[in-house]
Copies of this chain bind each other. A is one copy, B any other.
Amino acid sequence: MEKTTVSLLETIITLLENKKYAALRDILTTMNPVDIAAVFEDIQSEKTALLFRLLPKELAAETFVEMDEDTQKLLIHGFSDTELKEVIDELYVDDAVDIIEEMPANVVKRILRQADPVTRKQINEILKYPEDSTGSIMTTEFVILRPKMTVEEAIKRIRRTGIDKETINTCYVADNQSKLIGIVTIRSLILSEEDELIENIMETNVISVNTLDDQEYAAQVLNKYNFLDLPVVDKENRLVGIVTVDDAIDVIEEEATEDIQKMAAITPNTDKPYNKIGVFETYKNRIPWLLILMVSATFTGMIISSFESALAASVALTAFIPMLMDTGGNSGSQASVTIIRSLSLGEIEFKDIFKVIFKESRVSLLCGVTLAAANFVKMMVVDRMLMHNDQITVTVALVVCLTLIVTIFFAKIVGCTLPMLAKKIGFDPAVMASPFITTIVDAISLFVYFEIATMVLKI
Residues of A within 8 A of B (CB): 30-32, 34, 155, 158-159, 162-163, 168-169, 186-187, 190-191, 204-205, 207, 223-226, 228, 245-246, 248-250, 252-253, 256-257, 259-261, 263-266, 273-275, 279-280, 282-283, 286-287, 289-291, 293-295, 297-298, 300-302, 304-305, 308, 311-312, 315-316, 318-323, 325-327, 329-331, 333-334, 336-339, 341-342, 345, 347-348, 352, 355-356, 359, 362-363, 366-367, 370-371, 374-375, 378, 382, 389, 434-435, 438-439, 442, 446
Contacts and interface: CB of A to CB of B under 8 A. Distances in A.
A182 to B, nearest CB: 12
Nearest to A264: B337
A341 B163 CA distance: 38
Contacts of A159: 190-191
Given A34-B224, A333-B264, A342-B273, A191 B169 contact: no
A339 B275 CA distance: 10
A382 to B, nearest CB: 8
B442 A326 contact: yes
Given A249-B223, A342-B274, A439 B319 contact: no
Given A163-B191, A293-B327, A205 B253 contact: no
Contacts of A389: 305
Given A159-B190, A187-B162, A275-B355, A290 B366 contact: no
A300 B345 CA distance: 37
Contact of A286 (B289, B304, B363): B363
Contacts of A223: 246, 249-250, 253
Contacts of A439: 326
Contacts of A168: 187, 190
Given A333-B435, A378-B298, A266 B338 contact: yes
Contact of A291 (B266, B305, B371, B434): B371
A278 B111 CA distance: 57
Contacts of A359: 279, 282
| 7 nearest A-B pairs in the assembled complex, by CB-CB distance | A264-B337, A297-B323, A256-B256, A273-B347, A300-B322, A274-B342, A226-B246
26 contacts: A32-B205, A34-B225, A158-B191, A168-B187, A169-B187, A223-B249, A245-B245, A257-B345, A259-B260, A260-B341, A273-B342, A273-B348, A274-B339, A282-B363, A283-B363, A287-B371, A294-B323, A297-B327, A300-B323, A300-B326, A304-B322, A312-B315, A326-B438, A326-B439, A329-B438, A333-B434
B304 A371 contact: no
A367 B279 CA distance: 11
Contacts of A341: 257, 260-261
B311 A297 contact: no
A203 B155 CA distance: 22
A259 B366 CA distance: 25
Nearest to A342: B274
Given A32-B207, A291-B370, A327-B293, A274 B338 contact: yes
